[in-house]
Amino acid sequence: MIYELMLGNYPDSYWFQYDSTVVDSYEFLQCKESQSNKQVVFKLENKVSEKRLLSYDFYFSDGPDFISPRLANLLSNNQDFLHDVQLIEATIIVNGRSYSGYKALNILRLISCIDMNKSEYIPLLESLPDGPKKFFEIVFKENINEQFCMARCKESIGRIVISESLRQFFIKNKVKGIDLYT
């Protein structure tokens, strides 16, 4: 079984801005390993409680998603995860202070996982009926034979899915910031 990676009890004020001058956001949608060795930067313009914000493990931005040093450390020995995801050094800036040890997720796997016959959608552009889709309801394929931990959906590149084993790993380690129960 697969699950869409979804926000879970994640405040709007915690959405980061991605500094795309170092690595373009588009590169994170290519499912290819980044050759850049530059550290990426995420900034939070809102004034927030740093203690509360830094208690999260999974973060969202207007660019790639990223994870806490705690979660990066937990995943550092998970070879299946590291086969599917490149972790890129990241710094976050909150209330004018810099924090290092964060990792941006560059997802390397692309799998066909949406059942297009059972899902409801329309083409995003009428002139490109086979191009990007706007989904109203998504039904995932039931029997995906491909082994993966985390991947992008071939039918909707912006969507990220996780495997049951990764979901269980996140539940066991009480990962905060994503919804693991839907």
Residue 180 belongs to some domain of the structure: no
**Which H/E stretch holds residue 172?**
helix 164-172
Mean pLDDT of the chain: 93
Confidence band of 69 (pLDDT split at 50, 70, 90): very high
- The answer to whether residues 41 and 34 touch, using CB atoms and an 8 Å cutoff, is no
Residue 135 belongs to some domain of the structure: no
Tell me the range of 7-11, 55-59, 77-81, 143-147 where mean pLDDT is highest.
Answer: 55-59
Residue 130 belongs to some domain of the structure: no
Give the dihedral of Cα atoms 75, 37, 26, 3; nearest 10 deg. Answer: -10
Residue 133 belongs to some domain of the structure: no
Residue 120 belongs to some domain of the structure: no
d(CA 124, CA 4): 21
The tens digit of pLDDT for each residue in 20-43 reads 988 899 999 999 999 888 899 999
Residue 136 belongs to some domain of the structure: no
The tens digit of pLDDT for each residue in 121-179 reads 998 888 888 888 999 999 999 888 889 999 999 999 999 999 999 999 999 999 999 99
Whether this model's pTM surpasses 0.85: yes
Supply the range of the domain harboring residue 161.
2-111+143-172
Burial of 16 from C-beta contacts in 10 A (0-12 / 13-18 / 19+): buried
Closest CA to 121 of 137, 104, 110, 144: 137
Q: Report pLDDT for 182.
A: 64
Confidence band of 3 (pLDDT split at 50, 70, 90): very high
Residue 19 belongs to some domain of the structure: yes
Residue 177 belongs to some domain of the structure: no
Structure tokens belonging to residue 170: 């996140």
In the chain, how many domains are there?
1
Confidence band of 78 (pLDDT split at 50, 70, 90): very high
